Structure 1
Amino acid sequence: MTTPATPPAPSALRPRHDPRLADRLARSAAAVTTGHHLRTDDFAAWLDTRRHAHRFRVDRIPFADLDGWSFDPRTGNLAHRTGRFFTVEGLDVTTGHGPTARHWQQPVIHQPEVGILGILAKEFDGVLHFLMQAKMEPGNPGLLQLSPTVQATRSNYTKVHQGSDVTYLEHFTDPDRGRVLADTLQSEHGSWFYRKANRNVVVETDADVEPHDDFRWLTLGQLGRLLHHSNVVNMDARTVLACLPTRPDGPATATGGAPAPAEAAALHSDTELRSWITRERARHDLHAHRIPLARVTDWTRGTHTLHHTHHRYFRVTAVAVQAGNREVSGWTQPLFEPVGLGVTAFAVRRFSGVPHLLAHARVEAGFLDTVEIGPTVQYTPANFAHLTGADRPPFLDAVRTAPPAAVLYDTVHSEEGGRFLNAESRYLFVDADAAGIPADPPPGYRWATPGQLTALLRHSHYLNVQARTLLAALTTGA
């Protein structure tokens, strides 16, 4: 008779959550003037030094001058000869049903591979710091902005372009190199990408990290100060910072000047908020499928641009790039260029002293789950200039005409510079009372606390990238 084997002893149990992490992040957010080897007041000079340390240049070119990219003669799709990186295809979209249904077609970026947006963290003198990179992207206003430690597509870090290695990549591909503080898949712009997601990850290390001239360690507080400056902290850094599990009663000065009280209660429970999102996803009909770019209606392709017949929304253009500090020093590529400056804002209202943000259940054609939570307002006014009255987007005019005293935060940030050219939005927090935004919101809108929205970022595909940018301001105490 065989004696049953003794089962192995269970591994030691661990706390489900790190009880110290929120306090450590709050301490980092409170450190606003000095980081490891770089004072906040010296940051602009350092970034300018990096801007002049390498050769950077971006020139618009005709489509015919793209190297390795071409329009397929059968489908019209714009693709790279390797079949990697991304393609510009067509998208056919129908939303709603019956007489209220809307239908349109548009170009869209199809990039099925998941990229890495990773920030390395390390403690210096008892304060968490984050390793940020001065990175050139061809679509960035000013070219150089502060990016995550690693910002790379799979094509980049597998070296399809036959370039150099991605610096510090091993901290995010080797699970034994550090301790994960945040790690989720998050969407990119649902109006311009088709079902695109990136891994947003923060890893803390205790090991020595080899210094590099284009990288600096900064505290959350320093990053918060820099988020008050236009086009300094790039989109990829903002979305990762938003995913940090900060404490809801942290220094949320952007929502009204004083730290918020602990969020022991909210207007709606967490379960009610998640149920609202589920209902919104269930009630919206969205049918979006890829089609050949050559079949897209209402768009015209010229020698230099692919644009809408009414010159709204965005255009597809081409650029030639020189960048001395990138994995490849020169290349050409297509970019999407929006028409006009966007306006992106959360309305803020206190209920029983607790700040709430007016969230919008946004339907965007490229979302994986049809609906994600967006800010109260997320529009490019130029696209709606021909509309009047009830046809105007909700709350857009209230935000644009809000008195100066109602504006709690107001900074221009650019979107992802690797795919979009000069894509900028004015990001705001606006006092709802002063702007005339009612406490009782219409369907599709719901008040939620910053802590509730931050908690949703522990999961994928709940908050869109524009909402994450504004939450990054709260995460860092901006």
Structure 2
Amino acid sequence: MKEFLTEEPQAPAAFRRWFESARRNIYTCVERVPLASVSGWDCAPEAAALTHTSGRFFSVEGLRTHHSGGAVPCWDQPIINQPETGILGILVKRFDGVPYCLVQAKAEPGNINGLQISPTVQATRSNFTGVHRGKDVPYLDFFRNVDARSTAGGTRVLADVRQSEQASWFLRKRNRNMIVEVLEDVEPAEGFHWLSLDELRGLLRFDDLVGMDARSVLACFPPPGPVHEPRPYAPQSSPCGPVTSEAALSWITAARSWAEVRTERLPLTGLRHWRRGPDALVHESGRFFDVIGVRVEACGREVGAWAQPMIAAHGTGVVAFLLTRFDGAPHVLVHQRVEPGFVDVVELGPTVQCTPGNYDGLPPAARPLFLDEVLTAEPHRVLFDTTLSDEGGRLFHTRSRHLVVETDARPDHPDYRWLTPAQLSGLLRHSHYVNMQARSLLACLHALRDPVDRAPRRERGEVGA
């Protein structure tokens, strides 16, 4: 992680002091343990699924996916099943007309550096209904009673929409992403801090600092001003040029109508090519991910100690947007993706979304399109390059390199389209159109003062959008 605490020009001084103090008071101590010894869970080698003794929280189950026409037409895997909808919410207040976000320093067992910036509220239903018998979730009432507060004139809802989790690892998991502007004074509790929206976006340039859930909510901020529709190239359906939002919606609907995807639940013991070892559930190739067990002791969390299974990915992922301009306006290349955990078959993902190491030993034709272009781009074309952590509550030390790479190419492929960042923001007013990885990258795009500014972010580390 970049040592932002020692780089005066790059991070606000008040933030650095607060975060350093939080590090001393909010932390987790995580020990990997054999799956069979995860207390409070049924993780026996013969178990059909890994389940909590309460029947709540989440389970790890087996899934077989059939994707007719896909690069891999059928595969088996473990997947996290958490059928409840959580709340990810950011409180916003204007100080002298400038929007500020109330963030918290949260320690998740899977965070690679322990402490990261999270939304004001980041809670599953099991958390805020007290299944864990822990402390109450601070500020939850602003989001659970949002209708009553809005009617009384105390708050204004800026965004409220259910969005998917990472659907390669979560089965139809959704979170309610909320942004609520508060008019009253709200004092930050211990572990919470007010950051201006520009400051928060600027911190996205530091490795493993702004957590995935915060990035998801940040992407849902309404764009300033009206959304100007790009002038479509002829023909309208051409992938080589910009399209209207109506045409993009039709393109997604058509893909959902034609995609032949079927999933079936299986016992973990029946998964092809997966083996239960003494410590973990692993793929026989040594690639993809493992299902491991951890024991956690925590300070500054609702609960002080627990154990659980987690998914630990092999290798660092890559998520990337190719960016170009049409009539001077920046556009990013989005990809129609099919993932086993999507609620509605297809969502828009980044240009590239993969873990390169999973393709070692496969023929070159199997490599994802545009992967080599983004990995070998000349430095002057790289507009953003930061490695950010994935969800830390269920995923262990799992992260992806986030890239925005400028290009003059005009790829012609039916599964890709050029959309403006504002068009993506418009789609985020609705559920299940833009996947988690694309939302994370969209938040990073908003961190750039100029989406076509060529200055290298890793070296400058500036704050402010």
**TM-score interval w.r.t. the shorter chain?**
0.7 to 0.9
Residue 214 (str. 1) matches residue 214 (str. 2)? no
Q: What is the Cα deviation at residue 48 of structure 1?
A: 2.2
Q: 1:160 is paired with a residue of what secondary structure?
A: coil
2:419 paired residue among 434, 448, 464: 448
Which residue of the partner structure matches residue 191 of structure 1? 168
Residue 310 (str. 1) matches residue 285 (str. 2)? yes
**1:266-281 to 2 correspondences below 5 Å:** 267-281=242-256
Aligned counterparts of 2:328 and 2:66: Cα–Cα separation in 1: 42
Which residue of the partner structure matches residue 156 of structure 1? 127
Is contact 2:35-2:44 (8 Å) kept?
Answer: no
Aligned counterparts of 1:100 and 1:471: Cα–Cα separation in 2: 27
Which residue of the partner structure matches residue 228 of structure 1? 205
Aligned counterparts of 1:207 and 1:142: Cα–Cα separation in 2: 34
Which residue of the partner structure matches residue 239 of structure 1? 216
Q: 1:167 is paired with a residue of what secondary structure?
A: coil
Which residue of the partner structure matches residue 290 of structure 1? 265
1:459 paired residue among 430, 443, 447: 430
Q: 2:395 is paired with a residue of what secondary structure?
A: coil
Which residue of the partner structure matches residue 120 of structure 1? 91
Aligned counterparts of 2:97 and 2:374: Cα–Cα separation in 1: 41
Is contact 1:188-1:198 (8 Å) kept?
Answer: yes
Aligned counterparts of 1:269 and 1:166: Cα–Cα separation in 2: 42
Is contact 1:80-1:86 (8 Å) kept?
Answer: yes
Aligned counterparts of 1:347 and 1:248: Cα–Cα separation in 2: 25
1:392 paired residue among 340, 348, 367: 367
1:349/1:248 CA distance change after superposition, 3 Å: farther
Q: 1:227 is paired with a residue of what secondary structure?
A: helix
Structure 1, residues 420-468: CA drift from partner, whole Å, max 9, x if none? Answer: 01111000100122xxxx3033121111111111100000000000000
| Structure 1, unaligned runs of 5 or more | 1-32, 251-261
Q: What is the Cα deviation at residue 73 of structure 1?
A: 7.4
1:85 paired residue among 57, 73, 76: 57
Aligned counterparts of 1:183 and 1:249: Cα–Cα separation in 2: 19
The residue identity in structure 1 corresponding to 2:173 is K
Aligned counterparts of 2:158 and 2:134: Cα–Cα separation in 1: 30
Aligned counterparts of 1:388 and 1:297: Cα–Cα separation in 2: 22
Deviates more, 1:369-378 or 1:300-309: 300-309
Is contact 2:26-2:191 (8 Å) kept?
Answer: no
Is contact 1:246-1:475 (8 Å) kept?
Answer: no
2:156 paired residue among 179, 195, 199: 179
Q: 2:410 is paired with a residue of what secondary structure?
A: coil
2:181 paired residue among 176, 194, 204: 204
Which residue of the partner structure matches residue 383 of structure 1? 358
Q: 2:170 is paired with a residue of what secondary structure?
A: coil
1:100/1:210 CA distance change after superposition, 3 Å: closer
1:287/1:264 CA distance change after superposition, 3 Å: closer
Q: What is the Cα deviation at residue 321 of structure 1?
A: 0.9
Q: Report the number of matched residues.
A: 426
1:141/1:55 CA distance change after superposition, 3 Å: closer
Q: 1:276 is paired with a residue of what secondary structure?
A: helix
Structure 1, residues 161-212: CA drift from partner, whole Å, max 9, x if none? Answer: 1111001111001122322110000000110011000000011111222331
**1:28-43 to 2 correspondences below 5 Å:** 40-43=12-15
Aligned counterparts of 1:426 and 1:402: Cα–Cα separation in 2: 14
Q: 1:106 is paired with a residue of what secondary structure?
A: strand
1:73/1:226 CA distance change after superposition, 3 Å: closer
Aligned counterparts of 1:208 and 1:247: Cα–Cα separation in 2: 24
Residue 134 (str. 1) matches residue 105 (str. 2)? yes
Which residue of the partner structure matches residue 20 of structure 2? 48
Q: Which runs of 4+ in 1 moved over 4 A?
A: 72-75
The residue identity in structure 2 corresponding to 1:163 is G
The residue identity in structure 2 corresponding to 1:237 is A
Aligned counterparts of 1:294 and 1:455: Cα–Cα separation in 2: 43
Structure 1, residues 73-103: CA drift from partner, whole Å, max 9, x if none? Answer: 7652100000000000000110015x97711
Is contact 1:241-1:472 (8 Å) kept?
Answer: yes
Aligned counterparts of 1:47 and 1:225: Cα–Cα separation in 2: 15
Residue 320 (str. 1) matches residue 330 (str. 2)? no
**1:104-119 to 2 correspondences below 5 Å:** 104-119=75-90
Fraction of identical pairs, as percent = 49
| Structure 2, unaligned runs of 5 or more | 1-7, 150-154, 233-241, 449-464
Which residue of the partner structure matches residue 371 of structure 1? 346
Q: 1:120 is paired with a residue of what secondary structure?
A: strand
Residue 61 (str. 1) matches residue 33 (str. 2)? yes
Q: What is the Cα deviation at residue 216 of structure 1?
A: 0.6
Deviates more, 1:119-128 or 1:374-383: 119-128
Once superposed, what is the RMSD of the aligned Cα atoms?
1.9
Q: 2:15 is paired with a residue of what secondary structure?
A: helix
Deviates more, 1:44-53 or 1:78-87: 44-53
Is contact 2:188-2:194 (8 Å) kept?
Answer: no
Deviates more, 1:439-448 or 1:188-197: 439-448
Which residue of the partner structure matches residue 376 of structure 2? 401
Aligned counterparts of 1:101 and 1:57: Cα–Cα separation in 2: 39
Aligned counterparts of 1:55 and 1:387: Cα–Cα separation in 2: 41
Structure 1, residues 284-321: CA drift from partner, whole Å, max 9, x if none? Answer: 11001221112111111112111100011110011111
Which residue of the partner structure matches residue 311 of structure 2? 336
The residue identity in structure 2 corresponding to 1:198 is N
**TM-score by structure 1 length?**
0.86
Is contact 2:229-2:245 (8 Å) kept?
Answer: no
Structure 1, residues 246-280: CA drift from partner, whole Å, max 9, x if none? Answer: 13789xxxxxxxxxxx6554521111111111111
Which residue of the partner structure matches residue 393 of structure 2? 418
Is contact 1:224-1:476 (8 Å) kept?
Answer: yes
